[in-house]
A and B are shown apart, each in its own frame.
Chain A
Amino acid sequence: MNPALQGLVTIIIGVGGCLAYFYFSNQFLDKVLFRAKGPNAGRNINRANLIRPWLFLFPAVFALGLYLAYPVVATLWYSLTDRNQGGAFVGLANYRQMMAEPKFWEALRNNMLWLIIVPAASTAFGLLAAQLTDRIKWGAIAKSLIFMPMAISFVGASVIFKLIYDTRPAGQNQIGALNAMWLQFEGGIGSFIVLRLLPGALMISAAALALFLVWQAVQAIRDKGMGAGAIVRIAFIGVLLFIAYSTLGLAYGAFTNVLPYGVPQTWLTIPGWNSFLLMVVLIWIQTGFAMVILSAALRGIPEETIEAAIVDGANPFQVFFKIKMPQISGTIVVVWTTITLVVLKVFDIVFAMTNGQWETQVLANYMFDKLFRASDWGVGSASAMVIMLLVSPILVWNVYNARKEMR
């Protein structure tokens, strides 16, 4: 059968079937099982109303259970068994095998970098765009244009950026924008400012910010004593110290690296840089999302608080950092976690642009590799469980918040 026709039939059967199911099951309940007539009418209505929610819920619960809940358990089981031994239980052997592979650690390390850089950069750019566009008349158009990459597939975005990163041999016209820009630098004072001073200063200020947050967290622990919150804060401090250390390292590198001026670079094959260039793709896509959400949050801030601050003589920067930022911190957390979830599952970009070569591997692509190229379901499942493990803090936090809201 022609797929298009098959699709049409599926829509009719699927949608019609759903509607028919809902209609007839309700009819059956009311007219046959518990008739709302005769001596037991009252009791029957109550009984019917006990069952009815489950009629409404059944297809959804069934699909959720089969397509999301069952796989979690099944994947856990597969990660503990070996397909080649007929599915025999092998304990943690798959995990051990995975840990022994340098590619896995490379994927994990890259994923950590993605987890730090992409949400941070997207949120920062989104906040900047939201704050700037809210102040001007044509802000709506500007927003819609910055938001546009949301509609573009990861694969499409990969093609777009591959064109930007494209390389031609030295001497030819460069058709990739990045190389064309790179060849403008020749080691003079301009190159020093743009390629050394600027990134160096940026990294040093990022390190300073991280250390400042560490200081605040330490203060908070000192004030509130050792409780459940202290454990979270200590973990937070650990991450921040790592960030500060790596940004300082990058700042040192920015000033001391020997830069090959005038030579076109094959960007996607330079370890270190290439991961970062892949992240740019995702940042480009996610900034619009962050901007839309944060812009709504900025508009939700009560005018009086801002007016009061201006009357008291606060400058625009103070208004932004001291008045607005604290009021939208909750939304920033939501945006951050949402982007974090996207980052953890990022697959298409790496798959399409480098396929994990040149040290750009990430967990989701590593897993795909294990599953469908190496046909190693055990290790593939084990790496899927690692992704699940990384997601679960957000899962718990979301559920906790949802329950709090319900009460």
Chain B
Amino acid sequence: MENIAGRTSALNWIVHISVVALVALWLFPTIGLLVSSFRTADQISSNGWWQSLFPTEQNLTLRTADPSNQTLVNGVYVVEGNLFGDTSDADISVWGVTSRAIDTYVPGDTADLGDGVTITVEADGTYIWTSPEELSGRGQRVFATATTPPEFTLDNYDTVLVSGGRTDSMTRAFFNTMTVTIPATIIPIVIAAFAAYALAWMDFPGRALLIAAVVGLLVVPLQLALIPLLRLHLEIGIGKGYLGTWLAHTGFGLPLAIYLLRNYMVGLPRDIIENARVDGATDFQIFTKIILPLSFPALASFAIFQFLWTWNDLLVAKVFLIDATGQTTVMTAQIVELLGTRGGNWEILATAAFVSIAVPLLVFFAMQRYLVRGLLAGSVK
């Protein structure tokens, strides 16, 4: 067996490297969005997000403070300060005073601007701008090639969550999405649990047919239901609104719920249920006291599915919920709208998208076990 073990360890390195590459490839897009949501609009448009993680060398056009700040020192007018504002970790490698010659000087050099006016720039951006005459006009332009450290901001989240205007603010959409999601997750579970119990543990004619029907309905495309149900909702007076959306999500989620729960309940030990029957428990008692607590893992799996699906849904919300006023818009719909109206404003888009992604991601990582179990129960049978 030695040679076999040797061969696998030789392969091991390749396996490790491939997995690292694969994971990096799969994470790269999401991280791009996350990083971009912490950058200002200028930063996003000046270079790629992958460059923002490291100190980058950039060609910058900077300007000294206006001459109104000048002081008279020993008969010379002086303006002092830092090109990068108050504090900065930037590191200037070369600089110049005209756009045609941006690399004339190194830090510490003094540039002669004519008429005795000079400017000295240090590597960290501090400058001294001196003149024998009183300075006027605007601040002196300085073209610098500087290495700037990574810099991130929370401003975008402030705009999107707190202070943004009507189109940018996601607060309303966030709560609308919540309002859609929670009832649309809980109601189908209750209905499906009872039905699944009947299909699993009660004997009645037509049971097999019903199970087959549920399996068949599992794949019926949502698209078919749009027109007839919208029409139905409008006719019976529900119209476009939360109630219709909850009902629609309930209906569309039921086949999977019944299928998953029934498969799980069928696997519960027969003895417990029959003992309870012999002891005189009614079906209702058996269901609430025995089956429901035992089925918790399956209930959790479906709850996660339904939560992710309703939270991430766009189509059902667009058809059954969002009316002309736009008061009931959900996050997915608002992001699509932002894509149209603010296609170039990546700072807003990235932040808005990340706000909508964050909750499902949290649920995903917290309850991954149940999600995987549900997937396996739904597929490998």
Q: Which of A324-383 contact B (CB under 8 A)?
A: 331, 334-335, 338, 341, 344-345, 347-348, 351-353, 364, 367-368, 371-372, 377, 380-381
CB pair A50 B26 closer than 8 Å = no
Within the assembled complex, what's the spacing in Å between the Cα atoms of A338 and B259? 15
Kindly list chain B residues whose C-beta atoms are within 8 Å of the C-beta of A19: 190
Q: Kindly state whether residue A243 has any CB partner on chain B within 8 Å.
A: no
Q: In this complex, what residue of A is CB-closest to B228?
A: A74
**Shortest CB–CB separation between residue A393 and chain B, in angstroms?**
10
Q: Which of B197-234 contact A (CB under 8 A)?
A: 197-199, 202-204, 207-208, 210-229, 232
Within the assembled complex, what's the spacing in Å between the Cα atoms of A175 and B45? 7
Q: Kindly state whether residue B111 has any CB partner on chain A within 8 Å.
A: no
CB pair B363 A151 closer than 8 Å = yes
Kindly list chain B residues whose C-beta atoms are within 8 Å of the C-beta of A334: 379-380
Kindly list chain A residues whose C-beta atoms are within 8 Å of the C-beta of B36: 163
Within the assembled complex, what's the spacing in Å between the Cα atoms of A371 and B231? 12
Interface size for chain B: under 10, 10 to 19, 20 to 34, or 35 or more residues? 35 or more
CB pair B350 A163 closer than 8 Å = yes
Which of B19, B22, B178 has the most chain A CB within a 10 Å cutoff?
B19
Kindly list chain A residues whose C-beta atoms are within 8 Å of the C-beta of B12: 135-136
CB pair A153 B356 closer than 8 Å = yes
Kindly list chain A residues whose C-beta atoms are within 8 Å of the C-beta of B191: 18, 59-60, 63
Q: Which of A31-71 contact B (CB under 8 A)?
A: 50, 52-54, 56-57, 59-61, 63-64, 66-71
Question: 1/0 per position for B5-17, CB-CB distance to A under 8 A?
Answer: 0011001100110
**Segment of A109-117, A137-145, A209-217 in the binding face:** A137-145
Known: A64-B254, A160-B353. A57 touches B210 (CB 8 A): yes
CB pair B183 A64 closer than 8 Å = no
Kindly list chain A residues whose C-beta atoms are within 8 Å of the C-beta of B18: 132
CB pair A56 B190 closer than 8 Å = no
Within the assembled complex, what's the spacing in Å between the Cα atoms of A260 and B113? 45
Known: A67-B225, A377-B227, A380-B227. A14 touches B186 (CB 8 A): yes
CB pair B283 A52 closer than 8 Å = yes
CB pair A60 B30 closer than 8 Å = no
Instruction: Pick from B194, B223, B250, B318: contact of A22, CB below 8 A.
Output: B194
CB pair A148 B22 closer than 8 Å = no
Q: Kindly state whether residue A228 has any CB partner on chain B within 8 Å.
A: no
Q: In this complex, what residue of B is CB-closest to A18?
A: B190
CB pair A160 B224 closer than 8 Å = no
CB pair A347 B224 closer than 8 Å = no
Q: In this complex, what residue of B is CB-closest to A144?
A: B368
Q: Kindly state whether residue B127 has any CB partner on chain A within 8 Å.
A: no
Q: Kindly state whether residue B128 has any CB partner on chain A within 8 Å.
A: no
Q: Kindly state whether residue A274 has any CB partner on chain B within 8 Å.
A: no
Q: Kindly state whether residue A395 has any CB partner on chain B within 8 Å.
A: yes
CB pair A128 B227 closer than 8 Å = no
Q: Kindly state whether residue A190 has any CB partner on chain B within 8 Å.
A: no
Q: In this complex, what residue of A is CB-closest to B336?
A: A352
Q: In this complex, what residue of A is CB-closest to B251?
A: A67
Kindly list chain B residues whose C-beta atoms are within 8 Å of the C-beta of A26: 282-284
Q: In this complex, what residue of A is CB-closest to B188?
A: A63
Which of A14, A164, A288, A395 has the most chain B CB within a 10 Å cutoff?
A14
Kindly list chain B residues whose C-beta atoms are within 8 Å of the C-beta of A3: 175-176, 179, 242, 328
CB pair A7 B182 closer than 8 Å = yes
CB pair B22 A153 closer than 8 Å = no
Question: 1/0 per position for A379-395, CB-CB distance to B under 8 A?
Answer: 01100110110010011
Question: 1/0 per position for B250-285, CB-CB distance to A under 8 A?
Answer: 111011001000000000000000000000001110
Q: Kindly state whether residue B47 has any CB partner on chain A within 8 Å.
A: yes
CB pair A67 B375 closer than 8 Å = no
Q: Kindly state whether residue B381 has any CB partner on chain A within 8 Å.
A: yes
Within the assembled complex, what's the spacing in Å between the Cα atoms of A351 and B350? 18
Question: 1/0 per position for B238-256, CB-CB distance to A under 8 A?
Answer: 0000110011101110110
Q: Kindly state whether residue B156 has any CB partner on chain A within 8 Å.
A: no
**Shortest CB–CB separation between residue A17 and chain B, in angstroms?**
9
Kindly list chain A residues whose C-beta atoms are within 8 Å of the C-beta of B186: 11, 14-15
Instruction: Pick from B28, B208, B228, B311: contact of A78, CB below 8 A.
Output: B228
Q: Kindly state whether residue B346 has any CB partner on chain A within 8 Å.
A: yes
CB pair B212 A399 closer than 8 Å = yes
Kindly list chain B residues whose C-beta atoms are within 8 Å of the C-beta of A284: 26, 29
**Shortest CB–CB separation between residue B195 and chain A, in angstroms?**
3
Known: A14-B246, A132-B19. A59 touches B194 (CB 8 A): yes
Q: Kindly state whether residue B23 has any CB partner on chain A within 8 Å.
A: yes
Question: 1/0 per position for A99-125, CB-CB distance to B under 8 A?
Answer: 000000000000000000000000001
Kindly list chain B residues whose C-beta atoms are within 8 Å of the C-beta of A180: 48, 50
CB pair B208 A403 closer than 8 Å = yes
CB pair B29 A160 closer than 8 Å = yes
CB pair B339 A159 closer than 8 Å = yes
Kindly list chain A residues whose C-beta atoms are within 8 Å of the C-beta of B221: 344-345, 364, 384, 387-388, 391
CB pair A150 B44 closer than 8 Å = no
Q: Kindly state whether residue A247 has any CB partner on chain B within 8 Å.
A: no
Within the assembled complex, what's the spacing in Å between the Cα atoms of A129 and B112? 63
Known: A7-B242, A60-B191, A371-B227. A296 touches B48 (CB 8 A): no
Q: Kindly state whether residue A6 has any CB partner on chain B within 8 Å.
A: yes
**Shortest CB–CB separation between residue B201 and chain A, in angstroms?**
10
Instruction: Pick from A50, A61, A74, A381: contact of B210, CB below 8 A.
Output: A61
Within the assembled complex, what's the spacing in Å between the Cα atoms of A167 and B197? 55
Within the assembled complex, what's the spacing in Å between the Cα atoms of A132 and B26? 15
Q: In this complex, what residue of A is CB-closest to B360?
A: A151
CB pair A57 B198 closer than 8 Å = yes
Within the assembled complex, what's the spacing in Å between the Cα atoms of A335 and B349? 33
Known: A3-B176, A74-B228. A345 touches B222 (CB 8 A): yes
CB pair A151 B182 closer than 8 Å = no
Beyond A146-B23, A161-B29, A310-B4, 9 additional contacts (C-beta under 8 Å) are: A11-B182, A30-B282, A53-B207, A160-B30, A162-B339, A163-B32, A163-B350, A177-B50, A352-B314
| Chain B interface residues (CB < 8 Å from chain A) | 4, 7-8, 11-12, 15-16, 18-19, 22-23, 26-30, 32-33, 36, 44-50, 175-176, 178-179, 182-183, 186-187, 190-192, 194-195, 197-199, 202-204, 207-208, 210-229, 232, 242-243, 246-248, 250-252, 254-255, 258, 282-284, 287, 308, 311-315, 318-319, 328, 332, 335-336, 339, 346, 349-350, 352-354, 356-357, 360-361, 363-365, 368, 371-372, 375-376, 379-381
| Chain A interface residues (CB < 8 Å from chain B) | 3-4, 6-7, 10-11, 14-15, 18-19, 22-23, 26, 30, 50, 52-54, 56-57, 59-61, 63-64, 66-72, 74-75, 78, 125, 128-129, 132-133, 135-136, 139, 142, 144-164, 166, 168, 173-177, 180, 284, 287-289, 292-293, 296-297, 310, 315-316, 331, 334-335, 338, 341, 344-345, 347-348, 351-353, 364, 367-368, 371-372, 377, 380-381, 384-385, 387-388, 391, 394-395, 398-399, 402-403, 405-406
Q: Which 4 A-B pairs have the closest CB atoms?
A: A67-B251, A153-B312, A60-B195, A74-B228
